[in-house]
Structure 1
Amino acid sequence: MAHLPKGDKKLLNAWAFYDWANSVYPLTISSAVFPVFYTLLYSIRGEGDYITVFGMEMKNSALISFTSAAAFLVISFMSPLLSGVADYVGNKKAFMRFFCYLGALSCIGLYWFDLNMIYPGLLCYFMGLIGFWGSLVFYNSYLPDIAFPEQQDAISAKGYSLGYIGSVLLLIVNLALILMADGEAEAEQAMRLSFVMVGVWWIGFSQYTYRYLPKGAGAGHKVNGAVLLNGFRELQKVGKALSGNIRLRRFLGGFFVYSMAVQTVMLAATYFGAQEIEWKKYGADPSMGLIVCILVIQLVAVLGAYMTSKASARFGNIPVLVVINAFWMCLCATMYFVTTPNQFYIMAALVGIVMGGVQSLSRSTYSKFLPETDDTASYFSFYDVAEKIGIVLGMSVYGVIDQYTGSPRFATVFLASFFLIGLLLLLRIPAQTSSKTVNSVYLALHKPDSMKNMKWFPLVFVLFSSLFLVSCEGEIEPIGSQTTDPTGPIDPTNPTGGVFKVDYNGATRTATSTVVYLSGGNINISALMPGGAGFSFVFDGNATGSYDLDDENNWIVFGTSLAFYSSSNFTTGLSSGNFTVTEIDETNKTISGTFHFVGYGEDETDIIEFTNGSFTDLPYVTENPTGDVVTATINGQPYEGVDTTTALASAGGGPEYAIINSESVDSTVLNIQIKTSLVPGTYALGMPDAVISYNTVNDGFPEDATGSITITSISANHVSGTFTATVSIDGTDYQITNGVFDFSF
């Protein structure tokens, strides 16, 4: 099979189709038929809900809870080892297939489950869990390999939707066989056949996925003794990398807690319904009632996953996850009081709305927060371990409460508290970096006494707009910049022989492009690094020598798609580091020097050390005349851009944007970003078409405006038009009228 490129529709569909294949396991085995079958065996035996196992009397539902917890404990230790090995040998598809077959064959083995021979049956149940969740380690790790960031929410939701549809189809078939059974004995036999059908379905439909998925990103080495521990070393490395990624670290903390509750609900809900709902009192058959509830959940979950995907596209992943956690918390608290079948049916429908959504959105959010890396399996192993250890704790708490109180009802209160804690932890995640991050950088570093440095701001604004354009996911590369020097043809965005490099996060990184200006008595250096990160340097002076970072006119800022770091501590205002210009070659118009500094994030514990920094023979320009035009009337006063900088930027496979930053004589700035694929016409302001941002020196944060923009002419390197906008900054409204722009990029 020919290798399909990343983002290919056939490849994405093949990946998502594995949800169709494997989702019959959690529905039939974990949620619907097996719990009913398991309860039915005790009913037929007629000796109550307790069984002697492992030398003690144990409640049947508690036994399953503890067996599940033990399986997930094994999985949590096993997955980092296997994911590291899979990346090393370069064939994680083979590992995914192995666990798929292990789980499917274990399901078939449940056909012979017998209370009189409980241990072989528990072993099949145990191995089924390991097979299912073990395959998901490798399945999930494929997502960033096969889909671009802007595709991941939709394809993740599609996978869950396919899973719900496929699993419901098989459940309907199984349900029909059970309903046609005459008596408990035939119903029991129909349930046993459903376990065989799950195994056959899982193996059969997964073949389509295996046909198109690539083998993996590893190098294909042989496994030796040292490699067996490689996964744990990789897991440790991922843990260390989290120290420099505050958004990913805090997301994992929240995910660990709320996933603990989500998975416990999914694994234990049917056992709760079998024991705590008064089915016979209201003339309902408990077996059919429970299966119908699970069927309702699956059908509603398709709509829920779709709604969640749409909501995340509009409001963002984290805000939607916060709302979903609040909804889950209310559901679990309410479950304490549910006793009738109708109440249970209503709760099942409400659970369905958020069950698929929280899973698919969590998976795609984690994928989006990952740094640029080929080692996705190890990162998803870390994700998987967090989820599985959470399940171990959740199922253990549930089992202990069930065993020692005789009822799992009290456990729902604990689950509600888990969602509350998860919600609070999600609220601590820093806001998504976007054009707002540029504004935050400006506000954090701006000091009233350093006003003379404000003329560099449009250039830095362009750099960070290029770095964080759109939704700031993936690698973003500036394609060009209109920078013209009247004394020579040097283009500073394409340095000839110039090198900018620095050590941070355990590696030496070299800039892919740089922009350097020596003008107005200032040195301004901007450097774009691999993966879309970037530096901006602003120093008061234009001569060789050392520059003091404690001087408020001198500073460095480093930004990624997830966070930004300043050479000035946000709390104390102090700096640590040095910037030295060793040579300014006025003949060849190049600049060289060294630097090192400590970068401080918004969280005072979030620190990155930048060492061994150097820039050698970077081309520079001394002026930036462009002839580009931005004029407007702002609150009745004329605005004219006297210092403009333009750029063309794209976002990791996303659309290209033409950008212009225009600064007036009083240092106010208008920033315009226009998608280059647009045609002449009028558009509402806002992504993905066009954005206008405005800031004043005294009013603080630059803000995105509302309004409209009219494109009168647009070509491969030039755009012109008009705009009208309104922007509110710290409670002050600015009416922007008669706006005109005309610039090349």
Structure 2
Amino acid sequence: MLDPSVVGWEPAPVTTAPSTAGAHPAPPQVDHALKRERFGWYSYDWAMSVFNTSVTTVFLGPYLTAVARDAAGPDERLSFLGLSIAAGSWFSYVLSASVLLQVLVLPITGAFADRSGRKREMLAAFAFLGALATTGLFFVGDGRWLLGAVLFAVANIAFGAATVVYYSWLPDLAGPDDRDAVSSRGWAFGYVGGALLLAVHLGLVIGAESLGLTTGEAVRICLATAGLWWGAFTVFTVSRLRNRPVRDPDAVRAHSGFRQLALTLREMRAFPLTLWFLGAYLLFNDGVQTVIALSATYATEELDLDQDVLTGAILMVQVVAIFGALGLGRLAGRYGAKRVVLGALIAWIGVLLAAFFLQTGAVSQFYALAAVIGLVQGGTQALSRSLFSQLIPVGKEAEYFGFYEISDRGTSWLGPLAFGLTYQLTGSYRLAIVSLVIFFVAGFVALAALPMRRAVLAAGNTPPARL
């Protein structure tokens, strides 16, 4: 029932209700194979989200910066490839370099996944590589700033590649009308996993002294356990997902990496409405990612809030986002994903305008705003993922999700650039944060103008009942 080997395939429904003439309808029969595979798919969001929360967002940046500063000379400079680099900038440079490499790797990864028919093995390989590199961060200390950079770069690239392959399963697991709900449930699973382990990690760091640990040792344990968590739950995911036959005969042809990249770019030009959506997503998602990345800077520099307030807000956003993702997913089933995403973008604009007027030191106001962010953050991303899955030609799922991830990661410098330039020109963090409104307004206009149903048909797919 799950074999999508022919064009026009639609996933088997979760339930069927056969009936016979003159008899009462039989009870719905649950498709256990589909339920089992979906649950395995959800579990990977649970597995991988700890890398984003505990490693990238909370612990590694400050810790690797401290390691680099300890290894630097009196001028707090590092020597790398003949360059003199400020120790305080080391993590940001490493993050930027890993993102740049993702831009080159992700489309090639997606194209190979589609033409090989071995997505299960590829997901396992990339996830285990990333988990192993993340676990290895335990050994970063005593001046090993270069080891930390290499391990994080490997982990981040593997994380992106595994995500591309993981996303490509969505059309296999849900038909057009179920995709929003399935995508939202996966995102909610991720927030549950990320919040749970982050709470344990924060407790470990706060209670490090009572446990006989230094703060640095506690952070190293947090980084290592994030990698172990990622790898362990990936085993569960891989045991439940199944490969499908290659659906696009042309995808079987082998090409070198960069030739395949050029071919993909050329082919995507034949689907201008799909590119239109990617452009809209690039704009508003850049705004989303910038708000997430720079909210701590705004809170500390402009609102004079303490680190414990920020820690509490991070945890609260993770918890609220669980209900936000599920709630917006349900709304999408009633009103259509496009309408719900547009409504969420209006809420994001309201968040930024409210942030401009937050009073200095107002903890309750900051928490209230963080709660709103949590409500719309997960739903915006989950429904964007399901919307894009409707616009991909059959058999090109991983290849196109590679470019989707580039829009997610490879252009995330635009928002921070706007924020930084506004602050440099005005000296005001309040004007800098409100400058990000332009990304949400532009993304809203671009998405609102996109003829979504026509875009789905142009990609050769069946539109859902509600868009």
Q: Distance in 2 between matches of 1:59 and 1:322?
A: 41
User: Residues 264 and 111 from structure 1, CA distance in 2 versus in 1: closer, same or farther, beyond 3 angstroms?
Assistant: farther
Q: Distance in 2 between matches of 1:277 and 1:116?
A: 34
| Superposed counterparts of 1:670-685, under 5 Å | none
1:263 is matched with which residue? 289
Higher-RCO chain (CA-CA 8 Å, sequence separation at least 6) = 2
User: What is the aligned residue count?
Assistant: 433
2:367 is matched with which residue? 345
Q: Distance in 1 between matches of 2:256 and 2:85?
A: 43
**Identity in percent:** 28
2:339 is matched with which residue? 319
| Superposed counterparts of 1:299-310, under 5 Å | 299-310=319-330
Q: CA deviation at 1:264?
A: 2.8
Tell me, yes or no, if the aligned pair for 2:64 and 2:91 is still in contact at 8 Å: no
CA RMSD of aligned residues (A): 3.8
Deviations 1:550-603 (A, max 9, x none): xxxxxxxxxxx67xxxxxxxxxxxxxxxxxxxxxxxxxxxxxxxxxxxxxxxxx
Give the number of the structure whose residues are more often helix, by fraction.
Answer: 2
Q: CA deviation at 1:109?
A: 2.6
Match of 1:22, SS? helix
1:12 is matched with which residue? 38
Q: Distance in 2 between matches of 1:374 and 1:71?
A: 28
Query: What amino acid maps onto 1:254 in structure 2?
Result: A
1:118 is matched with which residue? 145
In the alignment, structure 1 residue 412 sits paired with structure 2 residue 433: yes
Tell me, yes or no, if the aligned pair for 1:238 and 1:379 is still in contact at 8 Å: no
1:201 is matched with which residue? 229
1:94 is matched with which residue? 121
Q: CA deviation at 1:303?
A: 1.1
Tell me, yes or no, if the aligned pair for 2:72 and 2:87 is still in contact at 8 Å: no
1:290 is matched with which residue? 310
User: Residues 38 and 290 from structure 1, CA distance in 2 versus in 1: closer, same or farther, beyond 3 angstroms?
Assistant: farther
Query: What amino acid maps onto 1:27 in structure 2?
Result: T
Give the number of the structure whose residues are more often strand, by fraction.
Answer: 1
| Superposed counterparts of 1:235-246, under 5 Å | 235-243=264-272, 246=273
Tell me, yes or no, if the aligned pair for 2:109 and 2:399 is still in contact at 8 Å: no
In the alignment, structure 1 residue 27 sits paired with structure 2 residue 53: yes
Which structure's CA Rg is the greater one? 1
| Superposed counterparts of 1:314-713, under 5 Å | 314-336=334-356, 338=358, 339-340=360-361, 342=363, 343-371=365-393, 373-395=394-416, 411-430=432-451, 432=453
Query: What amino acid maps onto 2:60 in structure 1?
Result: F
Q: CA deviation at 1:208?
A: 1.5
User: Residues 238 and 324 from structure 1, CA distance in 2 versus in 1: closer, same or farther, beyond 3 angstroms?
Assistant: farther
Q: Distance in 1 between matches of 2:184 and 2:77?
A: 41
2:238 is matched with which residue? 210
Q: CA deviation at 1:224?
A: 9.4
2:18 is matched with which residue? none
User: Residues 270 and 135 from structure 1, CA distance in 2 versus in 1: closer, same or farther, beyond 3 angstroms?
Assistant: farther
Deviations 1:202-255 (A, max 9, x none): 000111211121234438999997343453144224422213xx3x33322211
Q: CA deviation at 1:265?
A: 2.9
Gaps of 5+ in 1: 434-471, 475-504, 506-529, 533-560, 563-650, 655-686, 688-745
Gaps of 5+ in 2: 5-10, 14-33
Match of 1:369, SS? coil
User: Residues 398 and 100 from structure 1, CA distance in 2 versus in 1: closer, same or farther, beyond 3 angstroms?
Assistant: farther
Q: Distance in 2 between matches of 1:57 and 1:364?
A: 41
Q: Distance in 1 between matches of 2:399 and 2:223?
A: 32
Q: CA deviation at 1:149?
A: 1.3
1:232 is matched with which residue? 261
1:253 is matched with which residue? 279
Q: CA deviation at 1:38?
A: 5.4
Q: Distance in 1 between matches of 2:243 and 2:54?
A: 30
Tell me, yes or no, if the aligned pair for 1:108 and 1:198 is still in contact at 8 Å: yes
Q: Could you tell which deviates more after superposition, 93-102 or 262-271?
A: 262-271
Tell me, yes or no, if the aligned pair for 1:42 and 1:49 is still in contact at 8 Å: no
Match of 1:17, SS? helix
Q: Distance in 1 between matches of 2:429 and 2:320?
A: 25
Deviations 1:631-681 (A, max 9, x none): xxxxxxxxxxxxxxxxxxxx8xx9xxxxxxxxxxxxxxxxxxxxxxxxxxx
Q: Distance in 2 between matches of 1:347 and 1:106?
A: 35
